[in-house]
Amino acid sequence: MGESVEARGQRHRLKQLDLVMSICSLFSEEYERTPAESIWEVLIPIDRIKEYLQTTHHAEYKSSLWVYTQLKRYEDDIGVKLFRREQNDGRSFSLGIYHPFVNFFQKQHLHVSEKIKVANGVYDKISHFAQKRGLTEPVRLLLGAGSTVYHLAAIIAEKSWTDAIQYEIYTHNLGALQKLMSPRVNFHNIRVLTPQGRIDPITYTIVGSSTPLFASTSFDFIVQGTSRVCDGRLYIESAEERARKMNILHECTGQKILVLTKHEFVEMPFSGIDPYGSLADYDFLIVPRRSTETTVRKSYETLFDRNVSGFEPEIISWNYEILKVTPSSRTNETP
């Protein structure tokens, strides 16, 4: 009798989403181990990608064109560009990350390895809090905008059947809502509430300056991301999202967590845009942890160290760091 596909091994292929996320993770790894100052500079030969897929997932792709076709089909499905193709000598080609990324559906794939590390860090903190307090009442979360928060929602949704934790989740993040309202979620453990407002198709959020739903609730944790950090100040491109972030940060009560991949730290803020807050407005920062043995130090790492010099490490794990904002690092300045 002939061997089955499982017995032969190394002949299966990944689903399109898994293929895309795996290749995005490879770009994160390549960026961190090379001198490139931007992930947009990274080009990976298609043969290197196929080798990575086989080594990491035991997925064998003999045809380079087949890999690229699957990526294109995924892009067509979500309606945005993720990769660019650069022709090499002969029939070979390399892939790069498409530039620019302005849409939520693009950003959720950028620096995906780091975002998942951070999301797991937030989840671990929430889980520890729930276990310590007891499981008799739900954990009240406010999940802000951003793709890292989206990955946190995906983790909570995935674990909803195995966790004993119950959640009451407030969010204007439509990506998070999509994950939390999937038919695969255990709705006995998750209750979701949303504010009023208008849907912004670029940031994929419900925007608006009014936050009575949020302001009237006492949260256990408020989780937010940001686009840029410069001299300790926080910036976001969208004026409407800036208003929502500012109101949440300064009007809502609960332990405030800022999730960062560290790539947000820059020398210059957005031109003509005022900050909506500062690092010191938060109680905790959660960032990915990188191995100094396998990565090249980037300029944003230096900027990160400079900005958080007064913060204390609360937890340092293999994959993430939780930094506590100390009284000495807080400021009375307002944006």
pLDDT in tens, 80-92: 999 999 998 877 9
d(CA 215, CA 95) in angstroms, rounded, equals 45
Model pTM above 0.85: yes
Query: What is the distance in angstroms between the CA of the first residue and the CA of the last residue of the chain?
Result: 73
Given a cut of 80, whether residue 212 has pLDDT beyond it is no
Q: Residue 244 is encoded by which pair of tokens?
A: 């929502």
Nearest Cα residue to 173 out of 214, 134, 133: 214
d(CA 16, CA 260) in angstroms, rounded, equals 27
Contact between 288 and 118 under an 8 Å Cβ cutoff? The reply is: yes
- Measured over the CA atoms of residue 200, residue 205, residue 206 and residue 209, the dihedral's sign is negative
Phi and psi (nearest 5°) for 233? -95, 150
Instruction: Kindly report, residue by residue over 73-132, the tens digit of the pLDDT.
Output: 999 999 999 999 999 887 799 999 999 998 899 999 999 999 999 999 999 999 999 999
Q: Give me the torsion for CA of 153, 270, 273, 198, rounded to 10°.
A: -30
- Measured over the CA atoms of residue 194, residue 200, residue 205 and residue 208, the dihedral's sign is negative
User: How far is residue 75 CA from its own chain's centroid?
Assistant: 19
What are the Cα distances from residue 124, in Å, to 115, 159, 286? 14, 12, 11
Residues of the chain with CATH 3.40.50.1360: 111-329
Question: What are the DSSP calls for 140-185, one per residue?
Answer: EEEE-SSHHHHHHHHHHHHTTTT----EEEEE-BHHHHHHHTSTTS
d(CA 37, CA 263) in angstroms, rounded, equals 10
Q: What is the mean pLDDT of residues 189-209?
A: 87
Q: Residue 85 is encoded by which pair of tokens?
A: 């193709």
Q: In the prediction, which pLDDT does 328 show?
A: 66
Give me the CATH code for the 5-99 domain, please: 1.10.10.10
What's the pLDDT band for 331 if we cut at 50, 70, 90? low
Is 28 exposed, middle or buried (CB count within 10 Å of its CB: 0-12, 13-18, 19+)? buried
Phi and psi (nearest 5°) for 67? -60, -50
What's the pLDDT band for 1 if we cut at 50, 70, 90? very low
Q: What is the mean pLDDT of residues 305-316?
A: 91
Burial 59-77 (b: 16+ CB within 10 A, else e): bebeebeebbebbeebbee
Contact between 79 and 105 under an 8 Å Cβ cutoff? The reply is: yes
The CATH class given to the 111-329 domain equals: alpha beta
Residues of the chain with CATH 1.10.10.10: 5-99
Helices and strands per DSSP (H, E), number in the chain = 11, 16
Q: In the prediction, which pLDDT does 196 show?
A: 84
- Measured over the CA atoms of residue 308, residue 310, residue 315 and residue 316, the dihedral's sign is positive
Q: What is the mean pLDDT of residues 226-231?
A: 96
Nearest Cα residue to 173 out of 138, 139, 199, 209: 199
Q: In the prediction, which pLDDT does 18 show?
A: 95
d(CA 144, CA 140) in angstroms, rounded, equals 13
